[in-house]
Structure 1
Amino acid sequence: MGISMWVLLFVQLPPLFNLPKSHLQCYGETVYCMGTDMLSRCNQADSPVDRFISVVAWNISTLRPPIFGFVPYNPILGETHHVSRANLNVLLEQISHHPPVSALHATDEKQKIQLIWCQQCVPKFNGIAVVNEVRGKRQLKLLSRGETYEMNSPNLLIRLLPTPGVDWDGDVRIRCPENGLEAELHYGHKSFLGLRGSHRSVKGKILETTTKRTLFEFNGNWDRTVTMKDNTSGKLTVIYNAEEVYSGLKTPIVNDLQGVRSTESAAVWSELSEALMRHDWEKANETKNAVEEKQRELLRERESKGETWVPQHFTLTRNKDGVWDCLPIHQWVPPAPIIVPLS
């Protein structure tokens, strides 16, 4: 298959190459779909340094091994995804379609934890790969500690030559102005010919913001284990074990059918997902086209009335550099009609 055909696959895929879930669901899973509650650990640690280390470990845990050649559905404008896991309530909304921008708000009112994320993927083709630059601000707020952790996301690298594959790649910075610490992480992959680099590697350091003194260094693989070295004592500690995160995962279930919004991802794409599960490609194409045509009709209707679509759960802004940001309308996310069982 030629390069142009590979690029076409990732721009507009037929249902045969779709995962039976929306991108919005995959985005939310990185927060609520975990075998162990690493988010609560961030708040429970006693010292600012230990909390920061826990945040770094949790940040690594939000990565999921992508599957080459298969992609989730592109969310429609206004699509939502609302799921609860124990006390953590997660709400996502597709707040823009052109360009595609997704917003996430997750809260644990008992632990006073809040997540506010905004994500826009910008694909760029460099001749041998498609680099999806993930733009947008991410914040983790430990409200009872008075701490806000700001971070970005690595990029999604879709390698076409010489061997097709997909990896997370690039630099991530985590900083907390309140405790004066920051972390630099680098996600790597094997080189063009596979002669250099380590598959799904992550390495980096935690340092003091003012003095730039490195306190800890860490190294490992985000789909296996990551070890941290204390530069003062020389002690080595495993701060992340992917097996804890990926094992024992539970499928979300509908707990309150009447409470499911018509905009919920599972409702929007239910017929298409059922057709994919049955390998009924004709029905899948028909259903996908129907969803897309309905969106075009709604757009024409808004344009004819001179109306501008407004998100239901977020306010949306765009800075001078073209980076999108969002703020949730409500402080706390309510419990969801879809839940993730704990056992």
Structure 2
Amino acid sequence: MSAISKLRDFFKFLGSVKGDLSNITAPPYFLAPHSVTEIGTCWVERPSLFAAPALEPDAELRALLVLKWILASLKRQLYIDGGLGQGIKKPLNAFLGEIFRAEWSDGKATANLVAEQVSHHPPITAVYMWDDEHGIRGEGYARVEMTFSGSVDIRQTGHAMLHIDRYDEDHLIFLPSCKVSGFMSGALFPELSGTYHIVSSSGFVSEIVFSGTSLLGTGQRNAVKATLYRRNDPSKAPLYVIAGCWSDRLTIFKGSTTKGEVVEVWDPARPENGASEARVEPLESQDCWESRKAWQGVIAALRRGDFGDTVTEKSKVEKAQRLMRAAEKEEGTTWQPLLFAPLSGPYEVFERLGSAVGWRLQADKTKGVWKVDRGEVKTLRRPFRPGLTPLGRETTETAKG
């Protein structure tokens, strides 16, 4: 199929959809061969970068390292199955109960991540990441809403929280919303705009301002400028500035301007800054609720460019999931996630940190504040849900699969 035909069909698809696109199936040639549950891997695929704040004794520099880590993760988070000049694709809509887990190692640090789809209507994904050796862990959750108004607008409601054991320190982290543009060229690309914050319990705040090119073509695509300042400083005098392109190079300056001392130039193209490969169990060893096992037919079809089989394989899972939801409604039962649960009571850490920048919880939009049960993560064993598969109740035939 030609790029023009794909573009025409995609516009036709967008024009036929009203409201939230998050649970709508895009044409198969716009799909990435992995699920929404894998998006959080951008945070841990560079294990040393993830662990770095835990190894820094100075609180100011720890806050700077957290900021650097988050900015460095954005390219892989937003350029889904693509890159600069290549366009991006839409990940597969995760089904309720879907789990992804993996490990990354670069010889200096090892990081782990587990994600679970805790809600389907609305779609909410919860993530937990950790490095036990260095005593650092993070968790977060997001409700993703997608609408179309000339561009695809992707809004994330939720947050992430990073904790460093050695210093009993927390960092409240934003989840960016973005626009997907480039429909006229057929090569879709993400754009970030607006101001976000990272707030540290040690007394530092990072303010991140995203910008891009204007309608007249001025400005720089994917531009970012971030400043780190003390929370109790009413003037917000920058201690450090990070500027550049969040999908390319970032320069860290000491002081209040981009003319100060250059501390570091972070370039993702350098070999030492490359991402590590995710280590996952072989498909034959995975549980049927694990993402790559459950979607293996779809992933294989996408990779060989067989869009007919893609639709067929996707439909098997989607139809079975609709039947499961209907059965639950009829039986009066409620789905229970395995690894995450809504927090009961106030979330004091969030309230304390969020108040620094006027950040308020929106738990009413995310079915609560989702917190990981670390004990359940450590004891999770196959089969995850005995007798039940994403395709329905287990039979002799499904058990063989």
User: In the alignment, what sits opposite 1:327?
Assistant: 371
| Residue pair 1:135, 1:152 contacting (<8 A) in 2 also | no
User: In the alignment, what sits opposite 2:263?
Assistant: 237
Aligned-partner SS, 1:158 = strand
Give the counterpart letter for 2:35 in structure 1: S
Residue by residue, what CA displacement relative to the aligned partner does 1:316-343 show, whole Å, maximum 9, x if unpaired? 2584652452100125854999xxxxxx
In the alignment, structure 1 residue 123 sits paired with structure 2 residue 146 = yes
User: In the alignment, what sits opposite 1:13?
Assistant: 26
Residue by residue, what CA displacement relative to the aligned partner does 1:57-104 show, whole Å, maximum 9, x if unpaired? 101121123444621110000000010124322110000001100000
In the alignment, structure 1 residue 31 sits paired with structure 2 residue 43 = yes
1:231 CA displacement: 2.0
Aligned-partner SS, 2:327 = helix
Give the counterpart letter for 2:242 in structure 1: F
Aligned partners of 1:316, 1:246: CA distance in 2, in Å? Answer: 39
1:243 CA displacement: 2.2
The equivalences for 1:27-176 within 5 A come to 27-34=39-46, 37-63=48-74, 64=76, 65-66=79-80, 67=82, 68=87, 70-86=89-105, 87-125=110-148, 127-159=149-181, 165-170=188-193, 171-176=195-200
Aligned partners of 2:134, 2:279: CA distance in 1, in Å? Answer: 24
In the alignment, structure 1 residue 304 sits paired with structure 2 residue 330 = yes
| 4+ residue segments displaced more than 3 Å | 1-11, 66-69, 160-165, 244-259, 317-321, 331-337
Aligned partners of 2:37, 2:111: CA distance in 1, in Å? Answer: 17
Aligned partners of 1:258, 1:279: CA distance in 2, in Å? Answer: 23
Aligned partners of 1:130, 1:294: CA distance in 2, in Å? Answer: 28
1:278 CA displacement: 2.5
Q: RMSD over aligned Cα, in angstroms?
A: 2.8
1:203 CA displacement: 0.4
Aligned-partner SS, 1:263 = coil
| Residue pair 1:169, 1:186 contacting (<8 A) in 2 also | no
* Aligned mate of 2:241, from 213, 217, 237: 217
Bigger RCO (CA 8 Å, 6+ sep): 1
Aligned-partner SS, 2:269 = helix
Aligned partners of 1:245, 1:137: CA distance in 2, in Å? Answer: 31
For these two proteins, the number of residue pairs brought into alignment is 332
Aligned partners of 2:307, 2:328: CA distance in 1, in Å? Answer: 32
| Residue pair 2:13, 2:26 contacting (<8 A) in 1 also | no
| Residue pair 1:89, 1:333 contacting (<8 A) in 2 also | no
User: In the alignment, what sits opposite 2:350?
Assistant: none
In the alignment, structure 1 residue 278 sits paired with structure 2 residue 304 = yes
| Residue pair 2:268, 2:274 contacting (<8 A) in 1 also | no
The equivalences for 1:196-275 within 5 A come to 196-211=218-233, 212-231=236-255, 234-238=260-264, 240-244=266-270, 248-255=274-281, 260-275=286-301
User: Higher strand proportion, which one?
Assistant: 1
Aligned partners of 1:279, 1:258: CA distance in 2, in Å? Answer: 23
Residue by residue, what CA displacement relative to the aligned partner does 1:25-63 show, whole Å, maximum 9, x if unpaired? 2x13212323x6201111111211111111111011211
Aligned partners of 1:336, 1:311: CA distance in 2, in Å? Answer: 12
Query: What TM-score does the superposition give when structure 2 sets the normalisation length?
Result: 0.75
Residue by residue, what CA displacement relative to the aligned partner does 1:176-204 show, whole Å, maximum 9, x if unpaired? 12x110001122221123x2221111102
Residue by residue, what CA displacement relative to the aligned partner does 1:84-128 show, whole Å, maximum 9, x if unpaired? 124322110000001100000011111111111111112243x43
Aligned partners of 1:220, 1:136: CA distance in 2, in Å? Answer: 26
| Residue pair 2:338, 2:376 contacting (<8 A) in 1 also | no
Gaps in structure 1 of 5+ consecutive residues: 338-343
* 109-118 or 232-241, which deviates more: 232-241
Aligned partners of 2:124, 2:15: CA distance in 1, in Å? Answer: 21
* 74-83 or 87-96, which deviates more: 87-96
The equivalences for 1:173-192 within 5 A come to 173-177=197-201, 179-192=202-215
| Residue pair 1:33, 1:250 contacting (<8 A) in 2 also | yes
Gaps in structure 2 of 5+ consecutive residues: 1-7, 344-360, 382-401
1:282 CA displacement: 2.2
1:237 CA displacement: 1.9
| Residue pair 1:90, 1:333 contacting (<8 A) in 2 also | no
Aligned partners of 1:188, 1:304: CA distance in 2, in Å? Answer: 49
User: Higher helix proportion, which one?
Assistant: 2
